[in-house]
Amino acid sequence: MNQFQLSAVVVQVQSLRYTPAGIPALNIVLEHGSEIVEMDTPRLVKLQLKAVAFGAQAEVLSRQGLDSACEFHGFLTNARNGKGVVFHIQDFSKT
């Protein structure tokens, strides 16, 4: 099963665009930071992740400001160029 959930802050937002079918699409970059205990040792985890949203989610996210903290839900897939991973956002809520 490919389900992904991430608490993150929006750190980059590209301009809202439209697919050839006329569906709104938005590319963003998310940043996450937290402390995780691994093998009884606290570990600081930081990452940036490319993400994309379509439809109503894209339109709402395009109006969110940078540094908006949210809980994102969706799935992971390969980037179009085959380099890296892209998080496809299917739902989100402000935290």
> What's the predicted TM-score (pTM) here?
0.92
For residue 51, pLDDT over 90 is answered with yes
Measured between its terminal Cα atoms, the distance across the chain in Å is 26
Domain locations along the chain: 4-94
23, 52 Cβ separation under 8 angstroms = no
CA 18, 20, 21, 25: dihedral to nearest 10 degrees? -30
The fold for domain 4-94 equals: OB fold (Dihydrolipoamide Acetyltransferase, E2P) (2.40.50)
For residue 64, pLDDT over 90 is answered with no
For residue 68, pLDDT over 90 is answered with no
Average pLDDT, the chain: 95
What does the alpha-carbon distance between residue 45 and residue 35 come to, in Å, rounded to a whole number? 6
